[in-house]
Structure 1
Amino acid sequence: MEIEGSVALVTGANRGIGLAFSRALLARGAAKVYAGVRRPEDFAEPGLEPLRLDVTDHDQITAAAATASDVTIVINNAGIQAGPGLLEGSLDGARRELEVNYLGAWAVSRAFAPVLAANGGGALVNMLSVASWRANARFPGYAASKAAEWSLTNALRLGLREQGTLVVGVHVGWVDTDATAGVEAPKTEPAEVAAQTMDAIARDEPEVLVDDTARRVRAALSGSLDLLYPTA
């Protein structure tokens, strides 16, 4: 679909990948970009229209869909990593990950599906991860929430096909954000994630494999478990 002249909403737009998405949309000619943030009063990015949106708050989602009724692109980017390790720690963080990363994306998608339909179909983008496909003993709750969001993405692709909505899943390994500051591993810049996602929207492509890690893990899904979880 055409990004130039479009109207977009990005959740979790205050920093990191969400802010990169918002800036990329403007750079590609979007006519308006709603920046979904928890505290609009603390957000002042030039060119963006702050919109109060906590993806776990039903009333805020409903209000956002009413305000942003001109949207043609929705990017579900809001996400957290808050869960415990595999064998210890409170499960409250894991429940929060599911609420934000999975159920939040689902709730926003439900609310905006009729908006997209009314505006010609448009595009729905879910920011996923290689964790959608490969579990992690350090962050099991996060990986589980992203696996659930990947399943949701596929269900939305089927469910929104008749209304002409392009559904895009974006997968990537480590991205250079505040959340990964303590991770010693190669990282992709948020701007690169955004750029490749914009290209996919423009080409009507349903899946984005941003880096070598995403491409390798995606290919391993058709092989043995040893490919996903090597023992050496």
Structure 2
Amino acid sequence: MRIEGATALVTGARRGIGLAFAQALLDHGAATVYAGVRDPSTTTVADARLIPLALDVTDPDQVAAAAEQVGDALIVINNSGVQSGVGLFEGDLDGARREMEVNYFGTWSVSRAFAPVLARNGGGALVNMLSVASWRARVPAVGYAASKSAEWALTNALRTGLRDQGTLVVGVHVGYVDTEFVTNIDAPKVTAESVAAQTIDAILHDRPEVLADEPARTVKAALSYRVQGDPTADIPD
């Protein structure tokens, strides 16, 4: 599908992967990119085509207002996400509930609100920023993994539910991305720009899934024949 001349919305676009998505869309000729952020006053705008938009994905009124304001959207990228660090046996479960509210229900809410917008505009594309955690749970971040697994299931349902209106639904899976949130983690990381570039390529070529790094590709391939937790498994715990 086309990006040049299109209007797009990116949630969680103040920094990191969300900002990289917004910049990549502009670089590929998008006419307008709305950057969904909690507080637009904290966003520095260097391009007149980038418009900050107050959007808390857990607030139904703000989601509805966004769908009304961005009525010409052809591309919607659900990037908003949180990670609380709640472990399997420790940590406040309110953090896990927050992860589910933002990562799962927030994505669902935005997708519901914008489905008719995309239909009116010819189908377009809906992108969900997922994670290798959709398939591989880690004990120190089980709440986050659960929310991303739920978001993956939602993504698959959206592919079915939006097929008849011609909407491309893209799921983006990746391991660690080099942002401020993982500065203390000693592991291979990909850049936010690389994730955004691969996602843009998927939109342009109508591909429904992005496996943005080697961990995502390895874990996805291992799902078909091993169970996580099995000592002989090829999916690392």
Q: TM-score range by the shorter chain?
A: over 0.9
Amino acid at match of 2:212: V
Which residue matches 1:228?
235
Which residue matches 2:230?
none
Which residue matches 1:111?
113
CA contact (8 A) 1:83 1:91 kept: no
Which residue matches 2:215?
213
Which residue matches 1:122?
124
Q: 1:200 aligns with which of 199, 202, 205?
A: 202
Q: Distance in 2 between matches of 1:100 and 1:149?
A: 10
Where does 1:94-173 land on structure 2 (aligned, <5 Å)?
94-173=96-175
CA contact (8 A) 1:4 1:29 kept: yes
RMSD: 0.8
Structure 2 unaligned runs (5+)?
Answer: 228-232
Q: Distance in 2 between matches of 1:80 and 1:189?
A: 19
Matching of residue 14 in structure 1 with residue 21 in structure 2: no
* Over 6 Å off, 4+ runs: none
CA contact (8 A) 1:79 1:101 kept: yes
CA contact (8 A) 2:85 2:140 kept: no
Deviates more, 1:84-93 or 1:114-123: 84-93
Structure 1 unaligned runs (5+)?
Answer: none
- TM-score scaled to structure 2, two decimals? 0.96
Question: What is the number of residues matched between the two proteins?
Answer: 230
Q: Distance in 1 between matches of 2:132 and 2:92?
A: 25
Q: Distance in 2 between matches of 1:71 and 1:176?
A: 29
Query: CA offsets, 1:126-184, max 9 Å, x none?
Result: 00000001111010000000000000000000000000000000001100111111111
SS of the residue 1:72 aligns to: strand
CA contact (8 A) 2:179 2:192 kept: yes
Q: Distance in 2 between matches of 1:89 and 1:187?
A: 26
Q: 1:174 aligns with which of 170, 173, 176?
A: 176
Deviates more, 1:98-107 or 1:80-89: 80-89
Q: Distance in 2 between matches of 1:228 and 1:42?
A: 40
